[in-house]
Amino acid sequence: MLLRTCLALLVAVGAWAQQTRPPNPTPNRNSPPTHSSFTAKGLNHEQDLTDLFVGNFADVSFDRGSLAFSQLFETYLEAYWRYCKDSLPPNKVEMTELQCADPPAPIRLPSDGPPPQPHGCLTWKKVSLGWADPALYAAKRQFDVLQSVNQFKDMAGSIKNPMRMIVGAGELTLDTEAMVRLNACGGPGLKRFEDNVVLFSMGKQPLLLPGEPPPGPKVLSAGALADSDFKRLLEDLIADQARTWLANRYLPGSTSQMIVAHDPTGRPSMMRAKYLFTSPLTSGRTQGSVNVSFTDGMPACIYFSDAPSTCQTPDRRLVSKFAAGGYLDPNASQGNPSPAPAPVGPPPNPNAQGRGAAMTGSSAFASVCVPGDLTIDWNNPQPGSKLDTFERQLKASLLDRAKIPSYDQTKWIGINLGSYSTWDPTGPVNGVITVADGGRCAVGRHEFLKLSP
């Protein structure tokens, strides 16, 4: 009830923008639909509504168990009744809901004592919401029963950011109503939209436009996506979430200390970073942290430091953009003054314990981020030089660690150039290197350092 009230207010606020009357009905509602049969042009959720029409379920930005989709389904039924009632079939059925009929609580005076304990609604009344196509209304009622648990989970997952749930559903409510007004009441466009909404609600395959190839997101290989600009991806994911933060304001471009870890096949498995935001509760800038987990190489959950156990779902359009190569780094090959020579011996085994140190037969390799000033001589250091001594000590140290069963071989090694410049070749290398969860080299060049034999 609260959600319906909030959305009703949003509809009232946005009603001024929806004054266009629906086009004249198309005579044959059952004629084959084409791209020109439907439009959602100019609406905030134009792509989502169009994807439902053409049957591109994979790119729809919400799930069928979400409150947003439930609201879309409900809004469509009610909007069709308001604007297309003459196109309903003769056997149309009434849509109803139960609303609380308790009289309002009397105003209490201070002398009345403590208020009574709250209780649930005692009396209910049935309220008409209009009329609908019987098959469509039956599908909506069945969907409500099956998805009630999922919608509760969606609401629970929005506790950190409740306005995202309300604003997102509110925008979709306005757009769905406007979409009904933009299309022919009796035309094949809305008919195909209805059919696919039902199929989407049931988790079934969509109906496609005649003669059209099956739509679907383009997905590049893990190898191609390894050169993605993960910082830009993370900033877009944070900015999308921040659109509906209640009080805090994200500072774009403020991400730092970023780490990207990969699984043994080379696909990203986790991103984490710091970011800055402002808050009316504090002065100046505040630092937060964010983790993004990946499933099958795709962003799956976003966890913010103020709600570290709450999964915020990434926008599905951003995920599709990433999968299609929309975040490929055009400068990925820049900053390497010369290509790194291939290491002698067998290449790193992608099925080993990780990308950090890969055991291949009797050989071991480690991922090392080499600073730009060391890249020229890294593969062929002068015998007996400081760099030669450093590499030998580093190899010995890493190889000893790789033999420990509990050692995490997915770690990447970074070289601190400032510490290296003052390093004493007779001392340990521990103060010169840093160990991270992996991902990409911020500067310099990525090398597979051959440790043995």
Domain of residue 240, residue span: 222-323
Q: Is the pLDDT of residue 411 over 80?
A: no
Please report whether residue 25 resides in a domain: yes
In a domain, 304, yes or no: yes
Task: Convert the pLDDT of each residue in 338-365 to its tens digit.
Answer: 333 333 333 343 333 333 333 333 345 6
Query: Is 394 within the bounds of a domain?
Result: yes
Q: What is the pTM of this model?
A: 0.50
Give the per-residue pLDDT at 1.
45
Quote the pLDDT of residue 147.
65
What is the pLDDT at residue 88? Answer: 95
Which residues are 435's β-sheet partners?
413
Residue in the block written with tokens 């994911």 = 237
Query: Binning pLDDT at 50, 70 and 90, where does residue 290 land?
Result: very high
Residues 12, 54: one domain?
yes
In a shared domain, residues 373 and 302: no
User: Are 190 and 274 found together in one domain?
Assistant: no
Interval 103-119 mean pLDDT: 74
Q: What is the pLDDT of residue 337?
A: 36
Confidence of residue 135 (pLDDT cuts 50, 70, 90): very high
Contact indicator for 142, 98 with CB cutoff of 8 Å = no
130 has which bridge partners? 95
| Exposure b/e, 300-335, CB count within 10 A at least 16 = b | eebbbeeeeebebbbbbbbbbbbbeebbeeeeeeee
Residue 208 forms part of a structural domain: no
Question: What average pLDDT score do residues 69-90 get?
Answer: 94
pLDDT band at 173 (very low <50, low <70, confident <90, very high): confident
Q: How much is the mean pLDDT over the chain?
A: 76
Percent of the chain with pLDDT over 90: 24
- Tell which wins on pLDDT, 146 or 164: 146
Mean pLDDT in residue range 240-247: 82
SS (H, E, C) the chain: CHHHHHHHHHHHHHHHHCCCCCCCCCCCCCCCCCHHHCCCCCCCCHHHHHHHHHCCHHHCCCCCCCHHHHHHHHHHHHHHHHHHHHHCCCCCEEEEEEEECCCCCCCCCHHHCCCCCCCCCCCEEEEEEEEECHHHHHHHHHHHHHHHHHHHHHHHCCCCCHHHHHHHHHHHHHHHHHHHHHCCCCCHHHHHHHHHHHHHHHCCCCCCCCCCCCCCCCCCCHHHHCCECHHHHHHHHHHHHHCCCCCCEECCCCCEEEEEEECCCCCEEEEEEEEEEECCCCCCEEEEEEEEEEECCEEEEEEECCEEEEEECCCHHHHHHHHCCCCECCCCCCCCCCCCCCCCCCCCCCCCCCCCEEEECCEEEEEEEECHHHHHHHCCCCCCCHHHHHHHHHHHHHHHHHCCCCCCCCCEEEECHHHHHCCCCCCCCCCCEEEECCCCCCCCEEEEEEEEC
Last residue of some domain: 323, 338, 368?
323
197 and 58: one domain?
yes
- Identify whether 343 is part of a domain: no
Residue 369 vs residue 252, higher pLDDT: 252
Biggest distance spanned by C-alpha atoms of the chain: 94
Does position 106 have pLDDT exceeding 60, yes or no?
Answer: yes
Residue 398 amino acid letter: L
Pair 229, 179 in one domain: no
Number of structural domains the chain divides into:
3
Whole-number pLDDT of residue 407: 61
pLDDT for residue 26 is more than 60: no
Does 156 lie in the same domain as 188? yes
Residues 318 and 368 in one domain: no
Q: Are 159 and 229 found together in one domain?
A: no
The residue out of 169, 202, 235 marking a domain boundary is 202
Q: Are residues 32 and 174 in the same domain?
A: yes
* Residue 145 shares a structural domain with residue 259: no
% of residues, the chain, pLDDT over 70:
73
Question: Does 344 reside within a domain?
Answer: no
Residue after which a domain boundary falls, among 297, 323, 349: 323
Most confident of 214-223, 369-378, 385-394: 385-394
* Residue 132, pLDDT score: 95
Q: Report pLDDT digits (tens) over 183-238.
A: 999 899 999 999 999 998 888 889 999 888 777 666 777 777 877 889 999 999 99
Q: Would the pLDDT of 432 be above 90?
A: no
pLDDT grade for 441, boundaries at 50, 70 and 90: low
Has residue 173 been placed in a domain? yes
- Label residue 444 by pLDDT band (50, 70, 90): low
Say if residue 292 is in the same domain as residue 431: no
In a domain? residue 339: no
Shared-domain flag, residues 198 and 231:
no
> What local confidence, expressed as pLDDT, does residue 114 receive?
76
